[in-house]
A and B are shown apart, each in its own frame.
Chain A
Amino acid sequence: MMIRKSALALIGLTVVTTAAGFMLLRNSLIESQMEDLLTEQFKARSDIRDLNLDPFGLEGGLSGLEIADRKQPMQNLIQTGKAEVDVAGWSLLRGSLVFATLNLKDLQLDAPRKTSGALPGRKAPVTPSATKESPPSPTSEPVTTSKQEMDSAPATTPAPSTPVATEPEPSSDQGNATASSDDSSVNWKKLNDNLPRLDLAQASKQLNIPDLTQGLELQSVKQIQQAKQQNRNNIDSLKAELENDDLDKRIADTRAQIIALKARKITDIKSAEKALKDAQAINKNIAAINADYKKIRSESDRLIKNSKLHKNQLGNSIRDDINTMKQLANIRNINTKDIAIILFGQATMQKIQQVMDYANLAMKYMPESDDEEPVSRRSGRDIRFPVTTGYEPYLLVKNLAFNGSKGARQFAGKITNFSSNPIRYRQPVSLSLNSSVNRTDWQLSSVFHAESDARNTVVTLTGDHIKSQQIKLSDKKDPSNPSQAIFKDSNVLAKLDIGKQGLSGTLKLDASKLNLSFAEKARTRFDREIQNALSKPFNNVVLEARLSGSLSNPGLSVKTNIDQQLSRRLKAVVGEKVAQANRQLENHVTRSVAKELNIANNEIENYSKPVKNILTGKGKAKDELAALQKQAENNIKSQLNKYKRAQANKLKKQTQDKLKKSLKGLKF
């Protein structure tokens, strides 16, 4: 087969022309390709005003780089002044934009655009802030004290004005990792505003037992009242029983029988025998009534006697009451946990907000990941094989240095291995960032490994070392003379997971020293002692905060060892005060119980009086019955004796008459 020499010449000519054309037009070509690649990665219009590269090394400078914000097309995600670049030409030919170095100067974030940066045919995605109603005011938001679940100490009763953290409300955009920073900052501010404000005056408050115990219900008193009510019910039952029993009827019947017996006339021996027999029956009835009455009386007396309450019946309730009161008194008055949470809550919020700002920033400026394109006819499907050599993502900046501003905040920093596919690229991404606004200086430096797709699933940031020289915290109540908490040489360990499932993370602050200073002037010696105790530096303070919810609607809970340190200091100072207060508390409880017992027993005594009256009435009736029976018996006896005497007289007379008649015939 012949070779076409003309074709070979044509190919050679084409190669030479292309090379020459590239030399001449390299800047425009590369500029155009870079714009296309950036546009593809950030899904928004990207422009470069001027690019000037060295033809061989592709090093040089660019100016006027603008990448529009795809969510807000009328503003730029990034806008730079001049930049120094070193582009990898070989990678560019393969469709990847790889910067060996990229130094961005005068970087501006969220700067407005003159024209829309949306790509034709693409709608700007709806941001959560556009779909959500404005957040409720802090006062209307439900507040929970999540410290209770984290503290190892027993459950406390925090003052109503000292909530620690808010849990997030259920939200439709829960876990939306691309929530706008404005939206999230509102929620962070809301969370911050809901934290308790520092009130150091609370720490030096005098122990005031009447104040402390006011409104508190003692368990022993409650037990007395319950027993009292039970006894009243028992007495009521007894009263009803006494009123409804048949003893009165039986007494009445017997009484009627006795009266009838009493009125009976003894005319002959038979009637006398019958009367005696009836009298015996009545006596039996009376004996039965007496026995029943005795039984009722003894039962009633026992019940009434048992209704009286004694101190020893209350068991351990009084001791428990004393312990509870002591606990409440300590918490309400000294309130070390709340002080710790107040102090650390503020610092945590500031630090967390900084880290979250950073995370938000990283999320927002992360390019689109190297998504697989949708499968269409004749497009096929790309199969990925293990990468054994260096992989190159579509966008990679090996060394990125930048400085710029966002609003009032100035910032400068460095990022290494910033790429559109950090998971596959596998190189650790490091970031150091200095930022200052309104004299609140902070510095972040971290090295993190992207463990999964930043845009589409979850981003995990593991801050190995976020160091802060000093965190200063001021009480907002009096800006001119603030109380302050200063954390020195603090070290922050942060782990954040941000994704569609929501936000979770832990942030541990480890400060070698904490200094507190007080704005309030000590009024008493006791105040002074407390302030002095708290003013000495605290060593090795640890604070751990947990994050939940979502970026736009975060939740926070806090755990720290500062409360133990504060507690020890305060105990040493207020030891005598506490002992005195304990004695006062014991007396208070004992007196309260005795007083309540006395009242209860008097009430029971009064309440049982009707029962006693009924019993007395029954006793009187029973006693009258015996007297009446005696009268009736005497009456019968006297009638019988009279009858006997009459009969004897009659017999005597008859005998005399008979003798007289017999003697009348005889003559002596």
Chain B
Amino acid sequence: MFGLNPLQFLFRVLAGADRPGEVAGGLALGFFIGLTPGWPLHILLACLLLLVFNVNLSAAFLAAAFAVGLSWLLDPVINALGSLLLEDIAALHGLWTWAYNNPLVAWTRFNNTMVMGALALGGLISLLIAVFGTQILVRYQSVWLEQLKQHRLFRLLMKSRIGQLYYWLSGGIS
């Protein structure tokens, strides 16, 4: 109902059918949600944002799935980053102590090295996705896609069965 088919979403993006801002927003939120283990408070808030704002849900799901796998692989790095922020930077201890004693903030489980690492890394990458992703997608739709369409190989492919499949998956946009 929300266009959950990730493959279809991918082709729609390739075909330039979706709005770049919505796609980038979905990707950023999805990545942020997927990178953090469990359901701490800030992730629930991110989910609410995902539902309330008109971002691309397919992009979010795809990004979340990708981020889950990535966080599994990067577990030691994320843990080390969380540990660095929580334990090694003395200047932050005051902030963490305040947060630890604040029941609402404590629900974020920020004191967990994995959660903190994911929050920092996911926050940074999501921000980059949100900012640069939009620009990249705009440029893709306005410049790179047009160049691609002019390519001989692309035109040959579009005339073949693959082209028909692409046409169908991208929702009739060519």
What residues make up the interface of A, taking CB atoms closer than 8 Å to B? 1-4, 7-8, 10-11, 94, 377-389
Contact = CB atoms under 8 A, between A and B. Distances in A.
B97 A7 contact: no
Nearest to A380: B114
Contacts of A8: 52
* Most chain B beta-carbon neighbours within 10 Å: one of A4, A11, A380, A383: A380
A379 B97 CA distance: 21
Given A4-B53, A377-B75, A389-B101, A384 B22 contact: no
Nearest to A381: B113
A8 B51 CA distance: 8
A385 to B, nearest CB: 4
B82 to A, nearest CB: 6
A11 B45 CA distance: 12
B52 A4 contact: yes
Given A377-B75, A378-B71, A385-B93, A1 B53 contact: yes
A413 to B, nearest CB: 32
Contacts of A11: 48, 51-52
A383 B101 contact: no
Contact of B96 (A2, A3, A7, A385): A385
B107 to A, nearest CB: 7
22 contacts: A2-B53, A3-B54, A4-B51, A7-B52, A8-B52, A10-B51, A94-B103, A377-B75, A378-B37, A378-B71, A378-B114, A380-B113, A380-B114, A380-B115, A381-B83, A382-B112, A382-B113, A383-B86, A383-B87, A385-B93, A386-B97, A388-B101
Contacts of A377: 72, 75
Contacts of B86: 383
B21 interface: yes
A1 B54 contact: yes
A1 B52 CA distance: 10
B107 A381 contact: no
Contact of B75 (A3, A7, A378, A384): A378
* Chain A CB within 10 A, most for which of B21, B52, B87, B93: B52
Interface in B113-128: 113-117
Contacts of B117: 380
Contacts of B8: none
A2 B51 CA distance: 11
Contacts of A386: 97, 100
Given A380-B117, A383-B96, 18 more contacts: A1-B22, A1-B54, A3-B53, A4-B53, A7-B52, A378-B37, A378-B114, A380-B79, A380-B116, A381-B83, A381-B113, A383-B113, A385-B100, A386-B100, A387-B101, A388-B97, A388-B101, A389-B101
B137 interface: no
B111 A382 contact: yes
B28 to A, nearest CB: 12
A1 B25 CA distance: 9
Contacts of A379: 37, 114
Q: Which 3 A-B pairs have the closest CB atoms?
A: A380-B114, A2-B54, A385-B100
B15 interface: no
A658 to B, nearest CB: 158
A243 to B, nearest CB: 98
Interface in B53-78: 53-55, 71-72, 75
Contacts of A94: 103, 107
Contacts of A387: 100-101
Given A385-B100, A386-B97, A387-B100, A380 B37 contact: yes
Contacts of A384: 100, 111
B112 A381 contact: yes
Nearest to B47: A11
A470 B115 CA distance: 60
A385 B111 contact: yes
